[in-house]
Amino acid sequence: MNAPVIHNNQENQLFGLVEKVLSSPTPDMAVIEKMLDMQERVLAKQAEMAFNRDFATMAQEIPVIAETSNGHNITYAALETIDAVVRPILSKYGFATSFRVEHPEPNKVKVTCVLMHKDGHRECTSMELSADTSGSKNAVQALGSSVSYGKRYTLCAMLNITTAKEDDNGFAAKPFCPLTVEQTQMLTGLHSRLNEFQQQLFFEQFGAIESINKSMFTKAQSALNKLIKQGNGNANT
C-alpha cells in the first residue's frame, strides 16, 4: 500500500527541482532536459516493476485450458475458448491484450501479441507464418487462417498458457459458467445425503459445488446419485 506514496514523493521531488531550475534567472535547459529524462526512466522502471509484480500473481490463476475443438485429426483450444478463460483474469489484474498483423512478404503474415498493463508497461511477442493453403481455401481465407493461428499461439506464448485434452474429470478448464441457484440447491441436497468418505470422493473429482462449471452439472448430478445408490450414505432418509 505504501508503494504509490513513495512513487508520488519521488515525482514531486523531481518536479520541485525542475521548478527551482526554471525559476532561476538563467535556467539551464540542458539540466532540465536531463531531469525530465531521469523522471521518464524512473516512471518506466516503476511501470515495469508493477507489470512484473501483477503478472507473477496473475499467472498463478491461469488454468490449463481444455482442447475442445477438433481439426485435421487433432484437438486444440480455439482462440475464443482461450479468450473466454483468460479475459476476466487479465482484467482482474489490470492487463489487456491486442494484436498487430503485418505482411512482411506476399503470402506471409506477422502476428504480434501485445500485453498491456494499466501502469503503462507492455510486452510483445511475434510469430511469422506462411498462408495456410490447406484444404480448399482461397487466398483471403488462407491468410485469415494463419492470422487466427498466430493469435492463438502468440497469446499462449505471452501468458505461458498450456492446453490439454479434456479429461473425464473435467480438470482442464472450460470458460467458467456458474451453476444456477436451482442447480446448486439440487447438488447440495444430494451431497448432504453422502457420508464423509463419499463427500471426499466427490470433492476429489469435482471440487467444491460452488466452483463446478455449469457444463459439468449433469456429470456431477450423476456422480452424486451413483454414490447414494451404493447404499453407504443416507440414501433412505
200-230 pLDDT tens trace = 888 877 778 887 877 788 989 999 999 998 8
The helix (run of H) or strand (run of E) holding residue 130 is strand 122-130
The helix (run of H) or strand (run of E) holding residue 102 is strand 95-102
* Sequence spans of domains, the chain: 3-59, 65-165, 181-229
Residue 25 pLDDT: 73
Residue 8 pLDDT: 57
CA gap 220, 226 in Å, rounded: 10
Q: Which residues of the chain have pLDDT under 70?
A: 1-15, 17-18, 21-22, 27, 72, 166-176, 231-237
- The cell for 92 is 482482474
Residue 237: burial class (beta carbons within 10 Å; 0-12, 13-18, 19+): exposed
Residue 186 pLDDT: 94
Residue 185 pLDDT: 94
Residue 26 pLDDT: 74
Residue among 113, 105, 106, 110 at smallest CA distance from 127: 110
Residue 42 pLDDT: 86
Residue 233 pLDDT: 42
Q: Residues 65-81: pLDDT tens digits? A: 888 888 767 888 889 98
